[in-house]
Amino acid sequence: MQYQNWGPQEISAPARSELPEVPVERGMVLEDVQSGWVGAVTRVEKSGGMHVVALEDRRGKSRSFRLGFGFLLEGRPIRLMPPAPRQAAAAASTPGRTASGSVRVAGQRAQIAKASRIWVEGKHDAELVEKVWGDDLRVEGIVVEPLHGIDDLASAVADFGPGPGRRLGVLVDHLVPDSKESRIADTVMASPGAAGNVLIVGHPYVDVWQAIRPAVLGIDQWPVVPRGQDWKTGILAAFGWPHATKEDIGLGWQKLLGAVRSYADLEASLLGRVEEVIDFLTVP
């Protein structure tokens, strides 16, 4: 298989576009990226401290979803916002936003770390979450910790001892139906203390690297790595970058991570899941 050679020059000047923030409106037709559900907005309400939108499909069935990331409007990813801004004047005087798109609070100190945690599958996942959501998480006092694989997730959760005031959110790579990861997640959620205190979500990608939008890297799509070849090694080889050692892979990841400036550089399917975990850990 011949790889196209994408050099680092494309990384240094990535194409960019802001993920639009669209206020929800009655009658708006939306698609939920994770489930594929398509429907028209019939109502918006606040439940448990968060906004929820009801989408009715063409057969008259309705499902509710949290506002935020993970929606498509006319085929384009958006961040679905509450029906109306708080005040136009307040929005005009916003002192800036964090990399996650949240309003930056001037002078806000990081909270002392809470007992609740976000677990991610590896070091690269943790670094990506920290880069985009780190400011928000420090304000909330939530710590991100890498797992280095989920084969022993059940025992790790048991050792953590989840419960009221000690919640756990887990972000898993390649969490798709009938996968090893989905079976592990089902086992964990059936364990004592997990219900209501543990949330396991995942993105569909082989590795969190793929959650970076290809356009940010100056390519049309991520290279296809032949079955049986290490995925990260194959990706770096396709880019024409060094890939023979662990150090090469680490340096390659740092180049990719350096292309990420904000949430707009990530796929909606990752954005929605991380926001879901943060909501789970911070809503009383």
Where residue 137 sits, what CATH number does that domain have? 3.40.50
132 and 203, same structural domain?
Answer: yes
pLDDT of 9 > 70? The answer is no
What residues pair up with 53 in beta bridges, in sequence order? Answer: 44, 65
| Domain extent for 44 | 21-84
Residue 42 lies in a domain: yes
Determine the pLDDT at residue 262: 85
| Weakest-pLDDT range from 14-23, 252-261, 262-271 | 14-23
Determine the pLDDT at residue 49: 60
CA–CA separation, 71 and 79 (whole Å): 7
268 and 141, same structural domain?
Answer: yes
161 and 75, same structural domain?
Answer: no
CB burial of 84-99 (b: ≥16 within 10 Å; e: otherwise) equals eeeeeeeeeeeeeebb
Average pLDDT over the chain, rounded to whole? Answer: 81
58 and 136, same structural domain?
Answer: no
Residue 223 lies in a domain: no
pLDDT classification of 225: cutoffs 50, 70, 90: very high
40 and 170, same structural domain?
Answer: no
121 and 34, same structural domain?
Answer: no
pLDDT of 103 > 50? The answer is no
pTM for the predicted model, two decimal places: 0.62
What is the count of structural domains for the chain? Answer: 2
Determine the pLDDT at residue 167: 92
pLDDT classification of 171: cutoffs 50, 70, 90: very high
Where residue 27 sits, what CATH number does that domain have? 2.30.30.30
Residue 16 lies in a domain: no
